Chains A and B, each alone.
Chain A
């Protein structure tokens, strides 16, 4: 059965490649005219002698073939992703995901633009003994918003992605819109994991170097985390999901009640940011009032249930970016109140610890020669008013990296990304290879390794080492 699925996936990959090879071929027909070759001049035509011409018209009349995507203005991508668990154990999982995103931007006039994007998804996840067999097809609105410009004010209204912070993969200030962790970090970039929310975002540009941004997210949307029984279900959720209390009649399972905050305006998120671009540096200062995107769990023994909580928080932070010689330097930090931490006190496990925390990231990047790129970041977290029986450490720090080497004029990229905790054994790293089959078709393959303690950020997924293959057609 497993072999059949693998073979089916490979066949789909080939079919997919062939299909979009055709589309790419059609798209190529509309490329600019080739210059006739001429021997003895580097293989190209001699230029014509100077001649006077009043203007040069746009080249629409030269078009011979119709490029569907260009003509309709519909853009997007089709991506297939396959993951195979490589741990030698009976419960190896298999994960096959396909995403099609189509987007269209409609320019009403110079000051109003509309954007809509739709997602069609097909997922097939076989959790074997570790989780359910999930086959799911979805069709949903991804983004849908209006951009309105009024003088110095730019506003975006509607379902939109909001991305804050200048540092690369960890953004302590970007805490009021959700992320999708249902497959943890399978998606390469944090931006890919962000979930669009209904919001109003307004930027007032005082001048070319100063701006203030205001964001209102009226309805709370929480982070998506690994589903029950799936390979990516977090350890903490698993513990609360599997909680029994002894009773006279034997152990009684306390149900975990997954919930979210009521759709009320009092749980709205508000955020404001001051941004300043100087000659040598950019920086911003920000404040946000929001609910905790991550769920925390509290046992209600009298009601015999576990309830999911999302306490309201204040976050104050800032970031900066500068360039020193060839080094790009970026930093970001935020102080957040009432962060939830897990209580493992056997006598008082019914309470969540709400403590203030300070998260910071400092990093830089450097390119050696043309093609060897290094990006290193140092991240730390401090918990204030620390108490015993908190599962998290009082102080934790980690190093994140992204190193890649490009070959064949960027057609082939070999890369490693990862994160290693210095304060405990806990790590994730990925080695990958990306090859551009043509301008719009990209193939990526690689291997992920997870390690550490059973309750670590990555250690809890140490059975999930995997190889993967991705094929992405952009249009």
Chain B
């Protein structure tokens, strides 16, 4: 009897102790996939026209600037974008047209006014930096929700906002240039306030932080993003100078014809 009693006490104690110890690390009670899908489905407008500046800061504090006008539209849940550079002067008029495809094999053209030609370029390597910034092509495009496994990590306050924090790990090697990413999603509006990107060796690589989230024409808009390359100690500050949503962009804009028309939208 005593033997069974003692055994029961030990068993209950172990269970209780396990419960107490694991209580602090209990998985949070939210569905990370659901949060990710709500963030993905957030209203971004049918289309958008925005002027953006990018300030590039190297480890010595030296600064360089890029200025772009960006046109984006959403078709069949995919984004087509046309980005045209207006500064610096030597790349003024350079334009990049990206037509996103559901199979990930996007079509991309670049127009180089100095060479007076349009060129089709590879989109296979999405780790390539976008004009020397800390954004790569994967950062610039809309990722596919089902390419990742989601795991809730915790709920915490970040920048005065209650956030869901979850981890997204690519399901297959080729689905992402990152080993994994951790996202901070603002609970009330499902806006990504912060993301940390890890390289393939799961070493912290980059950090993106949203700045100044505002409602623009009924759509929550991050007026800026600070992207830090923690390995190279290089930072890019992307700032929206102005934004217009649902402007009724025509199909013609997202064509090679318009790519070579350097004055559009200025």
Query: Chain A residues in contact with chain B, CB under 8 A?
Result: 31-32, 35, 41-59, 69, 75, 77, 105, 107, 113, 154, 161, 163, 166, 189, 191-192, 194, 203, 205, 208, 211, 277, 279, 282, 321-323, 325-328, 367, 370, 408-410, 436, 438-440, 442, 472, 474-475
Contact = CB atoms under 8 A, between A and B. Distances in A.
A228 B239 CA distance: 56
A44 B120 contact: no
A277 B108 CA distance: 12
B226 A44 contact: yes
Given A32-B55, A50-B214, A51-B215, A474 B116 contact: no
Contacts of A410: 131-132
B215 A59 contact: no
Contacts of A475: 89
Nearest to A49: B160
A191 B208 CA distance: 39
Contact of A57 (B124, B242, B261): B242
A77 B89 CA distance: 9
Contact of B214 (A41, A53, A75, A472): A53
Interface of B: 51, 53, 55-56, 58, 64-65, 87-90, 92, 107, 114-117, 119-125, 127-129, 131-132, 159-161, 186, 189, 193, 207, 209-217, 220, 223-224, 226, 228, 234-235, 237, 239-244, 251-252, 255-257, 261-263, 266
A273 B135 CA distance: 38
The secondary structure that dominates the A interface is loop
Nearest to B120: A321
B33 to A, nearest CB: 25
Contact of A58 (B51, B161, B226, B257): B51
A161 to B, nearest CB: 6
Contact of B226 (A42, A54, A154, A191): A42
B90 A442 contact: yes
B209 A409 contact: no
Given A49-B161, A56-B243, A161-B116, 15 more contacts: A35-B237, A43-B235, A47-B209, A47-B212, A48-B212, A50-B215, A51-B214, A59-B241, A113-B263, A323-B120, A409-B58, A438-B64, A442-B90, A474-B90, A474-B92
Contacts of B241: 32, 58-59
B217 A44 contact: no
A441 to B, nearest CB: 9
Nearest to B236: A409
Contacts, number: 154
B159 A47 contact: yes
A194 B114 CA distance: 11
Contact of B124 (A32, A163, A326, A408): A326
Residue of A321, A323, A367, A442 contacting most chain B CB atoms (<10 Å): A323
B256 A277 contact: yes
Given A191-B114, A409-B234, A208 B263 contact: no
Contacts of B114: 189, 191-192
B64 A439 contact: yes
B252 A208 contact: yes
Contacts of A56: 214, 216, 223, 240, 242-243
Contact of A163 (B116, B122, B193): B116
Given A32-B241, A58-B242, A75-B92, A42 B256 contact: no
A214 B189 CA distance: 53
Contacts of B127: 370
A58 B51 CA distance: 9
B255 A208 contact: yes
B138 to A, nearest CB: 13
A35 B216 contact: no
Nearest to A171: B117
Contacts of B211: 35, 44-45, 47
Contacts of A59: 241-242
Contacts of A75: 89, 92
A130 B160 CA distance: 76
Nearest to B234: A409
22 contacts: A32-B239, A42-B209, A42-B235, A44-B209, A45-B211, A50-B214, A54-B215, A55-B217, A59-B241, A59-B242, A113-B263, A191-B115, A208-B255, A277-B256, A279-B107, A323-B121, A328-B119, A328-B122, A408-B58, A439-B88, A474-B89, A474-B92
Contacts of B216: 53-56
A208 B251 CA distance: 9
A165 to B, nearest CB: 8
A54 B53 CA distance: 21
A113 B265 CA distance: 13
A50 B266 CA distance: 30
A327 to B, nearest CB: 7
A321 B119 contact: yes
Given A51-B215, A113-B263, A367-B125, A440 B88 contact: yes
B12 to A, nearest CB: 46
A58 B211 CA distance: 18
B116 A327 contact: no
B4 to A, nearest CB: 57
Nearest to B117: A163
Contacts of A77: 89-90
A439 to B, nearest CB: 4
Contact of B65 (A31, A194, A211, A408): A31
Contacts of A438: 64
Contact of B207 (A42, A53, A189, A367): A42
Contacts of A69: 89
Contacts of A439: 64-65, 87-90
Nearest to B230: A42
Nearest to A54: B217
Contacts of B257: 154, 203, 205, 208, 211
Contacts of A45: 211
Contact of B53 (A32, A52, A163, A328): A32
Contacts of B243: 56
A128 to B, nearest CB: 33
A51 B88 CA distance: 32
A358 to B, nearest CB: 23
